[in-house]
C-alpha cells in the first residue's frame, strides 16, 4: 500500500513527535522530555509540512508532549501485534481530536486532507496524525508501526521495507546490535 504525500508527512511527524517529546532511550543514551525552549525546538522540528516548521509556543509544546505519549502507545501496541488495542487507542485519538476529512484544493487538484475542529497547531496536527495512524492500523500496514529492538532504545519508526523486516530505529542501532552479536560470537 502506498500512502499519499499528506499521509506520509503526518506519519513522519508522528514518529518525530514521539521521539522528540517522550522520555526513554535514544540508542543507549537516556532521553528526557525537553523543557521550555528545547521542547519548542523539538516540536517545531517534528511538525514540518512542505519544508516549513510550524509555529509552536511553550504551552503548545507541553500540550503536544501529552499527545505524543498517546501516539507512542499506538506504536507500542502495533509493534507488539496488539492490533485491537492499537485500534482502540486510535479511535480515542480520532474522537478527542475531532478529526474530520476534507477535500482541499491544491495546484495539482483536489486532495483528501484531515483537519481538527480548528486549524490551531495542536489539534490541527494531532487530528491529522490520528487520521494517518487510522489509515495504517486499518490496513495491511498495522504491523508496520515499530519500536526499536536495540535494547534499551525505544525510538519509533514506520517500517516501509518491502517485506516488513525493519527492526531498528536507525542504522546506528542496527550496527550496535550487529557489533554486539559479533563480539558475543567471538567470545565463545
Instruction: Check residue 153 for interaction with Zn ion (CB under 5 A).
Output: yes
Do residues 77 and 89 make contact, with C-beta atoms less than 8 angstroms apart?
A: yes
Which segment (49-57, 123-131, 153-161, 178-186) binds Zn ion by CB under 5 A? Answer: 153-161
What is the distance between the alpha carbons of residues 4 and 61, in angstroms, rounded to a whole number?
Answer: 27
Burial of 48 (0-12, 13-18, 19+ CB in 10 A): middle
Instruction: Check residue 73 for interaction with Zn ion (CB under 5 A).
Output: no
Instruction: Check residue 148 for interaction with Zn ion (CB under 5 A).
Output: yes
Instruction: Check residue 134 for interaction with Zn ion (CB under 5 A).
Output: no
DSSP class of 143: G
Among positions 17, 18, 99, 150, the unique one binding Zn ion when judged by CB under 5 A: 150
Which segment (47-55, 64-72, 171-179, 180-188) binds Zn ion by CB under 5 A? Answer: 171-179
Q: How far is the CB of 155 from Zn ion (least distance, A)?
A: 5
* Distant-in-sequence, close-in-space partners of 143: CB < 8 Å, separation ≥ 6: 78, 81, 83, 159, 164
Which segment (9-17, 117-125, 156-164, 173-181) binds Zn ion by CB under 5 A? Answer: 173-181
Instruction: Check residue 93 for interaction with Zn ion (CB under 5 A).
Output: no
What is the distance between the alpha carbons of residues 158 and 131, in angstroms, rounded to a whole number?
Answer: 15
| Residues at the interface with Zn ion (CB under 5 A) | 148, 150, 153, 155, 169, 173
Amino acid at each position: 500500500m502506498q500512502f499519499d504525500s499528506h499521509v506520509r508527512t503526518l506519519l513522519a511527524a508522528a514518529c518525530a513527535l514521539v521521539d522528540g517529546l517522550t522520555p526513554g532511550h535514544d540508542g543507549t543514551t537516556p532521553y528526557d522530555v525537553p523543557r521550555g525552549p528545547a521542547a519548542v525546538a523539538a516540536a517545531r522540528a517534528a511538525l514540518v509540512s512542505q519544508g516549513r516548521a510550524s509555529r509552536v509556543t511553550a504551552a503548545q509544546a507541553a500540550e503536544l508532549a501529552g499527545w505524543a505519549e498517546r501516539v507512542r502507545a499506538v506504536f507500542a501496541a502495533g509493534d507488539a501485534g496488539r492490533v485491537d488495542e492499537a485500534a482502540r487507542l486510535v479511535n480515542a485519538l480520532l474522537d478527542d481530536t475531532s478529526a474530520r476529512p476534507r477535500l482541499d484544493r491544491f495546484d495539482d487538484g483536489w486532495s483528501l486532507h484531515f483537519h481538527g475542529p480548528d486549524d490551531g497547531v495542536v489539534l490541527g496536527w494531532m487530528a491529522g496524525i490520528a487520521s494517518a495512524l487510522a489509515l495504517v492500523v486499518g490496513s495491511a500496514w498495522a504491523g508496520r508501526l515499530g519500536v526499536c529492538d536495540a535494547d534499551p532504545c525505544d525510538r519509533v519508526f514506520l517500517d516501509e521495507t518491502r517485506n516488513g523486516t525493519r527492526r531498528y530505529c536507525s542504522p546506528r542501532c542496527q550496527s550496535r546490535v550487529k557489533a554486539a552479536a559479533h563480539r558475543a560470537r567471538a567470545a565463545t
